[in-house]
């Protein structure tokens, strides 16, 4: 079916419908997760891993699911027959106004995952979608297309997350975002899964729940199994069913501190060829995530949300040079790169040619320079552990843009030389929340210029400072945060010890990040509360505190 109806739901009706969808999905997900695969398969093929959508365009969206055609067709097993799967997308939850549909075949070659790139839809419109196989119908998902490329969109709002380690805690942050009816999409900035063996991170005595497989993942079957485990989580399923996802990877989708030719968490002698491991990880990622597959095998790409915002998404693992050794002096080497030449040129060209009010850049690691040498000695060790640094008191994190200063210098110079305003970097990775100006010269800031701003979201569950120290939140981190701010005057705020998510609200006048924190990541029923808000005004290039979240 390829017909499209001409009626368009009002924004108010869409919001009300989305709220109903989110509540219904969240309520149903635990029951779905609790059912055993055998019980679910009694009626035939089953959709045990939920439904998802992603990469919204003005006229389309990517739909995703995974079908389990037989009890032994588990993720990564390579088993199970080819299975026909139907899909349909409609303007209403009852599917009385179906606008498109079709059939596809799920096979073991793609781990029985299904991806459908639907086009011909209306811009800035909510849709509902589902899949069928035999007599089985999947859960219903809700998605939304982007505004028309030339539309003067009044606003766009993203949920922003990163760093969800299965063994460190539950994904309550996803549940709270799924229940919101006001989001256009979810932006996931990396570390959607973690590759460690059970008890490797965190230590065994602090594991909240054990993932599968139990060993460190290195093969295609391993990565498929780990993705499949994650997508049995009820809160993650609810998030995917409620909102389209826009995602990039960081290192843990492959291996810790990954670079183009290897990773800190890869031993060639015992774990095989790194290129084969990385290829397997990326293949599983593209199979299991609602992300358009790139012919280059990368996730850097660009999405547009009317004339309001262009979203530039980066891949900072596939092309980077190996991280510099501490004290080697190589962080400033112009031959070293975090982006690769082609990606940096692509980003610079896209920023310069953009006619959008806001230039949003999804970067998996922090671009703002940060020195940690002023932190009290008794906190240097735990912070170094958190950031993956040596514990002797290193001043920079060489895995971030701080370890590749020539690329950063070139990019920031491009912004200032071209007079490119309203560039906002959106970042994850380090399990802390930050609000930063991005200075051209940090040593002389604020007397020198700010080229952009940066909002960093904390982790969904991955350990941060209080977890590493095993103390109550705020016990020691306030001291460390105060020291970091004193040594880095462009850092306006940081929270080193809480978990949660962000909500980015963009209008023509400002971009504002509202930061939310969880009551307890080890509880599946954790509550969420607003803690801080920061914004950057159109043309200001600086962040300022706001006393309340966007309503």
User: 156-546, what's its fold?
Assistant: Purple Acid Phosphatase; chain A, domain 2 (3.60.21)
Summarize the confidence of residues 306-318 as an average pLDDT.
Answer: 98
Compute the CA torsion angle 397, 401, 404, 405 (nearest 10 deg). Answer: -100
Summarize the confidence of residues 58-84 as an average pLDDT.
Answer: 98
Summarize the confidence of residues 128-134 as an average pLDDT.
Answer: 97
Q: What is the pLDDT of residues 388-429, one digit of tens each?
A: 544 433 457 899 999 999 999 999 999 999 999 999 999 999
Task: Identify any residues that bridge with 57 across adjacent strands, giving them in sequence order.
Answer: 60
Burial class (CB within 10 angstroms; exposed 0-12, middle 13-18, buried 19+) of 74: buried
Q: Tell me, yes or no, if the two domains 11-144 and 156-546 fold the same way.
A: no
Confidence band (pLDDT; 50, 70, 90) for 374? low
| DSSP classification of residue 337 | -
Residue 105 to residue 102: CA distance in whole angstroms: 11
Is the pLDDT at 285 greater than 90? The verdict is: yes
Percent of the chain whose predicted confidence (pLDDT) is above 90 = 78
Residue 470 to residue 292: CA distance in whole angstroms: 40
Confidence band (pLDDT; 50, 70, 90) for 152? very high
Is the pLDDT at 25 greater than 90? The verdict is: no
Is the pLDDT at 30 greater than 60? The verdict is: no
Is the pLDDT at 28 greater than 50? The verdict is: no
The residues, ordered by sequence, that sit 6+ positions from 81 with a Cβ below 8 Å of its Cβ are 69, 70, 73
Which H or E element spans position 262?
A: none
Angle at 514 between CA 63 and CA 240, to 5 degrees: 15
Among residues 30, 266, 172, which one has the least CA distance to residue 501? 172
More reliable by pLDDT, 448 or 85: 85
Summarize the confidence of residues 307-332 as an average pLDDT.
Answer: 92
Radius of gyration, alpha carbons of the chain: 22
Residue 266 to residue 9: CA distance in whole angstroms: 51
| 72 dihedral zone (left: phi>0; alpha: psi -120 to 50; beta) | alpha
Neighbours of 336 (CB within 10 A): 18
Confidence band (pLDDT; 50, 70, 90) for 43? low
Is the pLDDT at 7 greater than 50? The verdict is: no
CATH architecture of 11-144: Sandwich (2.60)
Is the pLDDT at 449 greater than 70? The verdict is: yes
Residue 299 to residue 249: CA distance in whole angstroms: 7
* Confidence at residue 24, expressed as pLDDT on a 0 to 100 scale: 40
Residue 320 to residue 75: CA distance in whole angstroms: 31
Among residues 87, 101, 96, 86, which one has the least CA distance to residue 7? 96
Print the SS3 string covering 28-51. Answer: HHHHHHHCCHHHHHHHCCECCCCE
Tell me whether strands 113-118 and 136-137 are parallel, antiparallel or unpaired: unpaired
* Confidence at residue 385, expressed as pLDDT on a 0 to 100 scale: 61
Confidence band (pLDDT; 50, 70, 90) for 246? very high
Compute the CA torsion angle 77, 82, 84, 90 (nearest 10 deg). Answer: 40
Residue ranges per structural domain of the chain: 11-144, 156-546
Burial class (CB within 10 angstroms; exposed 0-12, middle 13-18, buried 19+) of 277: buried
Q: What is the pLDDT of residues 488-512, one digit of tens each?
A: 999 999 999 899 999 999 999 999 9
Burial 91-103 (b: 16+ CB within 10 A, else e): bebebeebbbbee
Sign, CA dihedral 197-199-202-208, equals positive
DSSP per-residue letters across 440-494: SSGGGTTTS-EEEEEEE---SSS--HHHHHTS-TTTTHHHHHHHHHHH-TTEEEE
Is the pLDDT at 525 greater than 80? The verdict is: yes
Confidence band (pLDDT; 50, 70, 90) for 472? confident
DSSP per-residue letters across 306-333: TTTEEEEE---SSSPPPPPPTTSSGGG-
Residue written as token pair 């993650």 = 236
Angle at 52 between CA 309 and CA 123, to 5 degrees: 40
Pair 438, 490: CB distance under 8 Å: yes
* Confidence at residue 376, expressed as pLDDT on a 0 to 100 scale: 59
Is the pLDDT at 199 greater than 50? The verdict is: yes
Is the pLDDT at 1 greater than 60? The verdict is: no
Confidence band (pLDDT; 50, 70, 90) for 442? confident
Neighbours of 104 (CB within 10 A): 14
Is the pLDDT at 8 greater than 70? The verdict is: no
* Confidence at residue 271, expressed as pLDDT on a 0 to 100 scale: 95
Summarize the confidence of residues 103-126 as an average pLDDT.
Answer: 98
Confidence band (pLDDT; 50, 70, 90) for 5? very low
Is the pLDDT at 460 greater than 80? The verdict is: yes
* Confidence at residue 225, expressed as pLDDT on a 0 to 100 scale: 98
Taking all residues of the chain, what is their mean pLDDT, rounded to a whole number? 89
Compute the CA torsion angle 442, 443, 445, 449 (nearest 10 deg). Answer: -60
Confidence band (pLDDT; 50, 70, 90) for 42? low
Q: What is the pLDDT of residues 321-370, one digit of tens each?
A: 999 987 677 888 999 999 999 999 999 999 999 999 999 999 999 999 99
* Confidence at residue 388, expressed as pLDDT on a 0 to 100 scale: 52
Summarize the confidence of residues 128-147 as an average pLDDT.
Answer: 97
């Amino acid at each position: 079916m390829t017909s499209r109806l001409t009626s368009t739901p009002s924004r108010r009706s869409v919001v009300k419908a989305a709220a109903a969808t989110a509540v219904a999905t969240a309520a149903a997900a635990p029951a779905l997760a609790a059912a055993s695969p055998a019980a679910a398969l009694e009626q035939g093929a089953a959709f045990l891993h939920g439904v998802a959508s992603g990469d919204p365009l003005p006229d389309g969206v990517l739909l995703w699911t995974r079908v389990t055609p037989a009890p032994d067709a588990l993720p990564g097993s390579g088993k199970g027959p080819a299975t026909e799967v139907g899909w349909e997308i409609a303007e209403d939850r009852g599917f009385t106004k179906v606008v498109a549909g079709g059939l596809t075949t799920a096979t073991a070659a793609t781990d029985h995952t299904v991806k459908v790139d639907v086009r011909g839809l209306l811009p800035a419109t909510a849709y509902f979608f589902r899949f069928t196989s035999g007599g089985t119908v999947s859960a219903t998902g809700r998605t939304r297309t982007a505004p028309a490329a030339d539309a003067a969109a009044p606003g766009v709002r993203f949920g922003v997350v990163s760093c969800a380690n299965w063994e460190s805690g539950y994904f309550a942050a996803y549940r709270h975002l799924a229940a919101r009816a006001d989001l256009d999409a979810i932006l996931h900035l990396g570390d959607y899964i973690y590759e460690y063996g059970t008890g490797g991170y965190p230590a065994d005595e602090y594991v909240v729940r054990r993932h599968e497989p139990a060993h460190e993942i290195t093969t295609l079957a391993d990565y498929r199994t780990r993705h499949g485990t994650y997508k049995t989580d009820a809160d993650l399923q609810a998030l995917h069913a409620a909102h389209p996802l826009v995602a990039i990877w960081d290192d843990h989708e492959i291996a810790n501190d990954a670079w183009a030719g290897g990773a800190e968490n890869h031993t060639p002698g015992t774990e095989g060829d790194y290129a084969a491991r990385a290829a397997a990880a990326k293949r599983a990622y593209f199979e299991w995530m609602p992300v358009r597959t790139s012919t280059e095998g990368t996730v850097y790409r660009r999405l547009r949300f009317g004339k309001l915002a262009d979203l530039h998404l980066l891949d900072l693992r596939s092309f980077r040079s190996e991280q510099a050794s501490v004290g080697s002096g190589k962080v400033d080497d112009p031959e070293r790169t975090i982006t690769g030449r082609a990606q940096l040129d692509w980003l610079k060209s896209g920023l310069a040619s953009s006619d959008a009010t806001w230039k949003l850049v999804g970067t998996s690691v922090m671009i703002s320079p940060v020195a940690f040498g002023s932190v009290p000695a008794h906190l240097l060790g735990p912070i170094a552990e958190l950031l993956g640094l040596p514990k002797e008191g290193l001043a920079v994190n060489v895995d971030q843009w701080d370890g590749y200063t020539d690329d950063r210098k070139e990019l920031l110079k491009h912004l200032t030389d071209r007079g490119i305003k309203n560039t906002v970097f959106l970042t994850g990775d380090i399990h802390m929340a930050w609000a930063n100006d991005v200075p051209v010269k940090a040593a002389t800031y604020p007397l020198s210029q700010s080229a952009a701003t940066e909002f960093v979201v904390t982790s969904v569950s991955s350990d941060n400072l209080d977890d590493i120290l095993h103390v109550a939140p705020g016990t020691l981190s306030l001291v460390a945060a105060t020291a970091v701010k004193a040594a880095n005057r462009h850092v306006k705020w940081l929270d080193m010890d809480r978990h949660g998510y962000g909500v980015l609200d963009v209008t023509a006048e400002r971009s504002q990040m509202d930061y939310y924190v969880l009551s307890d990541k080890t509880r599946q029923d954790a509550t969420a509360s607003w803690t801080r808000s920061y914004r950057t005004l159109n043309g200001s290039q600086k962040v300022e505190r706001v006393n309340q979240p966007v309503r």
